[in-house]
Amino acid sequence: MKKLKWIICLIAMILMAAANDMPVLAADQINVSADAAILMDAKTGQVLYSKNPFKKRAPASTTKVITALLAIETGTLTDKVTISRKAARTEGSSMYLKTGEVFTLSDLLYGALLNSGNDACVAIAEQVVGSVKNFAVLMNMKALALGALNTHFVNPNGLPNQDHYTCAYDLALFARQALANSTFSNIVSTKDRVIDLPAPKGERRLKNTNKLLWRYLWADGVKTGTTSAAGPCLISSASKGNRQLLAVVLRSGDRWKDSIKMFEYGFNNFEYKQVSVTGEKFTSIMVTYGKQKEVPALYSKDLGVLIPAGGKRGLEQRVSLQPELTAPVSKGQVLGSVSYYTNNRYVGKVNLLAGQDVYKLGFFDRFFHWLRAKIKNIFG
């Protein structure tokens, strides 16, 4: 047990370090009414605006983002789910499930994300791992894996509980991961859905509670949440051109207006710039005693960052690179890195890798190499 605690602590420390390197661009040009808020670029993970991003808050039904993500990742959408008495009797917002009814897992996901059905979430939890309690364990493991350090779940739907909390930044992490899943993104962008049921039950009509889908042209998700403990909350996303932004507002005076204000700020004040391409050469480094005199240093990955639009502030790169190497050098060996900053704030990093193997010269080759260097020093 002690060993397990040490492992958990070590993971938490690593994630803390990662959080400290969170790409952040400061913004004081806008104000929102929400008690906590964040605006994040879905592609790069850069934070363009934040207000109390790590403050622990009740999340209400925004919880259902990670519930749905886990169901999609671990379940089969066509599976038949028989509704239990416990699921049917769940309080709060509802898909109006009845004991013994049968739905597909896909139907329940629409019910949870559009109608905000608390009952659908219980049915999902029972289908995936057998119980709400076990599903909460899975939720917390997923949250930790995504780097969420201020989150703890006890249920799949967000019903109030003092031990059920998260923060704006963690919710943005969940939404970013979920939006990368096409099934999830298709569901949360749906305004209305009709679920056909066997006769004589007819059909079940669902309508998305996210009014931003009607109020903002570029909106394409994600999830509302409202309880007395949490206040009006919203995780939302919007896409314009090749960019997608996501916003989180918790206990907002006007969640629609706050979200639109952040989206307009993000789209109008930042532009995307590709700063590296996998395998592209950055520079070459001299290699001592190598069969080749130098080795190319290549970008390890694609990296794009958001920079202030209109060239208001330049993009700065800070290079950490060995000036010279000694053979042998292995292909793929890390030679250094390039970190990118805008407005003196970190926005991304990419490693530089050796583009080829460089083998070490034999003894006599090294001797003549040394001798030539000595002669050159003597005679210029």
Active site residue 106: no
Specify whether the CB–CB gap between 53 and 47 falls below 8 A.
Answer: yes
* Residue 133 burial (C-beta neighbours within 10 Å; 0-12, 13-18, 19+): exposed
pLDDT band at residue 2 using 50, 70 and 90 as cut-offs = very low
pLDDT band at residue 155 using 50, 70 and 90 as cut-offs = very high
Of 50, 61, 276, 300, which is the active-site residue? 61
- The Cα 157–Cα 178 span in angstroms is 16
- The Cα 70–Cα 359 span in angstroms is 48
pTM: 0.85
Check whether 278 has a pLDDT greater than 90: yes
Tell me what the mean pLDDT of segment 66-87 comes to.
97
The domain spans of the chain are 21-272, 277-379
- The Cα 356–Cα 193 span in angstroms is 54
Q: What was the pLDDT predicted at 309? A: 85
- The CATH H-level superfamily of 277-379 is D-Ala-D-Ala carboxypeptidase, C-terminal domain (2.60.410.10)
Which regions of 52-191 does DSSP assign to beta strands (E)? 80-82, 102-104
The DSSP 8-state label assigned to residue 96 in this structure reads -
**Chosen CATH of 21-272 out of 3.40.190.10, 3.40.50.720, 3.40.630.40, 3.40.710.10:** 3.40.710.10
- The Cα 336–Cα 333 span in angstroms is 9
Check whether 238 has a pLDDT greater than 90: yes
Specify whether the CB–CB gap between 27 and 263 falls below 8 A.
Answer: no
Query: Which one-letter amino acid corresponds to residue 15?
Result: L
Q: What was the pLDDT predicted at 366? A: 62
pLDDT band at residue 348 using 50, 70 and 90 as cut-offs = very high
Q: Summarize pLDDT for 159-186 with one digit per residue, the tens.
A: 999 999 999 999 999 999 999 999 999 9
Check whether 14 has a pLDDT greater than 80: no
Q: Which residues pair with 207 in a beta bridge?
A: 192
- The Cα 374–Cα 293 span in angstroms is 18
- The Cα 98–Cα 96 span in angstroms is 7
pLDDT band at residue 311 using 50, 70 and 90 as cut-offs = low
Check whether 144 has a pLDDT greater than 60: yes
Q: What was the pLDDT predicted at 310? A: 75
Q: Which long-range contacts (CB under 8 A, 24 or more apart) does 18-21 make?
A: 18/147, 19/147, 19/149, 21/346, 21/349
Check whether 207 has a pLDDT greater than 90: yes
Active site residue 64: yes
Of 64, 142, 223, 261, which is the active-site residue? 64
Check whether 118 has a pLDDT greater than 50: yes
Check whether 58 has a pLDDT greater than 90: yes
Of 50, 93, 106, 116, which is the active-site residue? 116
Active site residue 273: no
Query: Which one-letter amino acid corresponds to residue 268?
Result: N
